[in-house]
Amino acid sequence: MDWARSWKDTLFLLLEDVPYYLRELTASISIDGTSATTLIVNSTTGEPLWKPFLYNESCSDALPTVKSIAPENHTVCSGSSTLCKLISWWNQEDSDKKSAILLHQADWLLWLLHGKLGVSDYNNALKVGYDPELDAYPSWLLSQPYSQLLPSVKAPGTSIGHIKEDIGSQYGFPKDCLVCTGTTDSIAAFLAARATQPGKAVTSLGSTLAIKLLSTTRIEDARFGVYSHRLDDKWLVGGASNTGGAILRQIFTDEQLVALSEKINPVEASPLDYYPLQTVGERFPVADPKMAPRLQPRPESDVEFLHGIFESIARIEAKGYSLLKELGATQVEEVFTAGGGAKNEKWTKIRERVLGLPVSCATQTEAAYGAALLALKGAQQNK
């Protein structure tokens, strides 16, 4: 699969999808991309020198090197970090080191629109080792030979320049349409929910369970996969569990989930104590690579079984927010929900009871909406 080509083609198809009358009114554009999806490109032409490293690809061959240079429990100390990918590429014998630059997925796609190679944002650059508190790359990273590949870093939603003239005229965008730095997709989804005050959180109930909390303090702990992204003068603290909706899909069809959910009484606590996982291993809120899935005993009633799973995932979510507080984050006060699980009203009521907090469905959950808010920020700053 030629990933880079497919992303490029998709970007231009999306530009064509924008109704023509809106194109000429577009003031700014930004893009969110998958965190730690990494491209090594030619520093002159921008063409990929190697196949892209996807977000979930692990380069464990580089992990000993990373652990020897980075502080203990740093975000980069994970096989799937951008830094591991960079070092893994650097160690290839035939890598073209002199004329290469590292970009993240969003950076490269934005470059296709603005034409200035080597610009990133501090959310995407976190997993390559950028320190958002210092607003600089740390000395332990800059002293390495491969630091020459690192892009310059700006705040998300910062204007990089105007859209390239040929693209503007070909697609009908104004000459003064700005192209702004982007962010990661999970942060864009958080921005979309408009959770702007410390203590507000977004739980994403997709195939996995991911939580993000706006905090006044930064916390990091690689043991639990907990790290903080900078959001202006605050910190977006997050963790992701391996539990989530994928387990429900293994057991029930969508129709069954709807029908069985209707029969659940969310006010009653389920006595069943499960730990629903697809495979062995958990990272957050318990760091245990050997943890086995637990879905026994299974009652005869499917309603009771589903209730038990819902309740158990809610307990894991509650434990996640408790762990963030233990590690020093702001106390959670309200939870917005994104992802497929947000639509299930019974599950929401169970979660409200277990968390002891107001839980509601986020009005906007599309990451693209968050990217549009960043583009708006860039346009307003540039006035």
pLDDT of 95 > 80? The answer is no
Does 355 lie in the same domain as 223? yes
Question: 267-322, pLDDT tens digit by residue?
Answer: 999 999 999 999 999 989 988 889 999 999 999 999 999 999 999 999 999 999 99
User: DSSP strand E in the chain: where?
Assistant: 28-29, 32-33, 38-42, 100-104, 119-121, 152-154, 159-162, 178-180, 183-184, 200-205, 209-215, 227-231, 234-241, 334-338, 359-361
In the block, tokens 């860039």 appear at: 378
Does 21 lie in the same domain as 133? yes
What is the distance between the alpha carbons of residues 235 and 220, in angstroms, rounded to a whole number?
11
Predicted pLDDT at 339 = 84
Residue 125: C-alpha distances to residues 3, 27, 234, 254 (Å): 21, 26, 17, 38
**Total structural domains within the chain:** 2
pLDDT of 185 > 80? The answer is yes
Q: The CATH number of the domain where 16 resides is what?
A: 3.30.420.40
| Residue 5, C-beta contacts closer than 8 angstroms, at least 6 positions apart | none
What is the distance between the alpha carbons of residues 234 and 218, in angstroms, rounded to a whole number?
8
Does 270 lie in the same domain as 156? no
Predicted pLDDT at 159 = 98
- In which band, very low, low, confident or very high, does the pLDDT at 176 lie, cut at 50, 70 and 90? very high
In the block, tokens 């490029």 appear at: 8
Predicted pLDDT at 7 = 98
Does 179 lie in the same domain as 31? yes
* Residue 181, domain extent: 3-186+368-381
What is the distance between the alpha carbons of residues 373 and 367, in angstroms, rounded to a whole number?
10
End-to-end CA distance of the chain: 42
Question: 160-171, pLDDT tens digit by residue?
Answer: 999 999 999 999
Does 151 lie in the same domain as 45? yes
What is the distance between the alpha carbons of residues 344 and 206, in angstroms, rounded to a whole number?
12
Does 350 lie in the same domain as 229? yes
Does 343 lie in the same domain as 209? yes
Does 232 lie in the same domain as 208? yes
- In which band, very low, low, confident or very high, does the pLDDT at 90 lie, cut at 50, 70 and 90? very high
Does 166 lie in the same domain as 31? yes
Does 131 lie in the same domain as 227? no
Does 212 lie in the same domain as 119? no
What SS3 class is residue 252?
coil
Question: 28-56, pLDDT tens digit by residue?
Answer: 999 999 889 999 999 999 999 999 999 88
What is the distance between the alpha carbons of residues 335 and 356, in angstroms, rounded to a whole number?
10
The answer to whether residues 188 and 121 touch, using CB atoms and an 8 Å cutoff, is no
Does 262 lie in the same domain as 211? yes
